Amino acid sequence: MAQPRRIVVIGGVAAGPKAASRARRVDPLAEITLIERDPVLSYAGCGLPYYVSGVVSERDDLMATPIGVLRDPAYFEKAKDIRVLPETEAVAIDRARRMVRVRSRQTGEERAIPYDKLILATGASAVVPPIPGIDLPNVLPMKRVEDADLLKTLLASEACQDVAIVGAGLIGLEMAEALHSCGRGVTLIERLPQILPFLDADMALLLHNYVVQQGVRVMTGAAVEAIEADASGRAARVVTDQGTVEAGAVIVGIGFRPNTSLAREAGLILGPQGGILVNQYMQTSDPDVYAAGDCTEKACVVRGTTCLLPLGSTANKEGRVAGTNAAGGHARFPGVVGTGAVKVFGWNVARTGLTEADSRRLGVKPACAIIAGPDRAHYYPEAKTIIVKLIADSVGRKLLGAQILGPGDAVKRIDVAATALTAGMGIDDIACLDLAYAPPYAPAMDPLITAADALRNALDGLVSYVFAAELEAMRQSGDGPFILDVRTPAEYQAGHIPGATLIPLGALRGRLREVPRDRPVVALCKTSLRAYEAARILSARGDSNISVLAGGMAAWPYDTEAG
The one-character DSSP state at 118 is E
With contacts defined by CB under 8 A, name the span among 50-58, 192-200, 287-295, 361-369 that binds a copy of itself. Answer: 50-58
CA angle 71, 77, 83 (to 5 degrees): 110
Residue 70's alpha-carbon distances to 12, 74, 123, 192, 197, in angstroms, are 14, 9, 21, 40, 36
Between 12 and 133, CB nearer to a copy of itself? 12
- Cα 459 from Cα 471, distance rounded (Å): 20
Q: Which of 5, 24, 117, 144 binds a copy of itself (CB under 8 A)?
A: 24
8 A C-beta contact, residue 448 and residue 374 = no
Between 245 and 336, CB nearer to a copy of itself? 336
Between 332 and 361, CB nearer to a copy of itself? 332
Between 218 and 341, CB nearer to a copy of itself? 341
8 A C-beta contact, residue 446 and residue 456 = no
Closest approach of a copy of itself to the CB of residue 383, in Å:
8
With contacts defined by CB under 8 A, name the span among 72-80, 105-113, 216-224, 238-246 that binds a copy of itself. Answer: 72-80
- Cα 275 from Cα 407, distance rounded (Å): 36
197: contact with a copy of itself by CB under 8 A? no
214: contact with a copy of itself by CB under 8 A? no
Q: Which of 34, 276, 291, 431 binds a copy of itself (CB under 8 A)?
A: 431
Q: Which of 281, 345, 441, 558 binds a copy of itself (CB under 8 A)?
A: 441
Q: Which of 8, 26, 164, 458 binds a copy of itself (CB under 8 A)?
A: 26
DSSP states of 359-409: HHHTT--EEEEEEEEESS-TTSTT--EEEEEEEEETTT-BEEEEEEEESS-
CA angle 400, 404, 408 (to 5 degrees): 150
8 A C-beta contact, residue 553 and residue 532 = no
117: contact with a copy of itself by CB under 8 A? no
Residues annotated as catalytic (active site), given as ranges: 46
Residues numbered 348-407 forming contacts with a copy of itself, rule: CB under 8 A: 348, 350, 352, 373-374, 377-381
With contacts defined by CB under 8 A, name the span among 73-81, 111-119, 154-162, 198-206 that binds a copy of itself. Answer: 73-81
Closest approach of a copy of itself to the CB of residue 93, in Å:
27
With contacts defined by CB under 8 A, name the span among 161-169, 209-217, 309-317, 492-500 that binds a copy of itself. Answer: 309-317
Q: Which of 342, 497, 522, 531 binds a copy of itself (CB under 8 A)?
A: 342
- Cα 376 from Cα 379, distance rounded (Å): 8
Residues numbered 485-544 forming contacts with a copy of itself, rule: CB under 8 A: 505-506, 509, 525-527, 529-530, 532-533, 536-537, 539-540
Between 105 and 152, CB nearer to a copy of itself? 152
Question: Which residues have C-beta within 8 Å of that of residue 247, sequence separation ≥ 6?
Answer: 162, 163, 164, 187, 235, 236, 237, 238
- Cα 51 from Cα 156, distance rounded (Å): 14
With contacts defined by CB under 8 A, name the span among 30-38, 239-247, 260-268, 415-423 that binds a copy of itself. Answer: 415-423
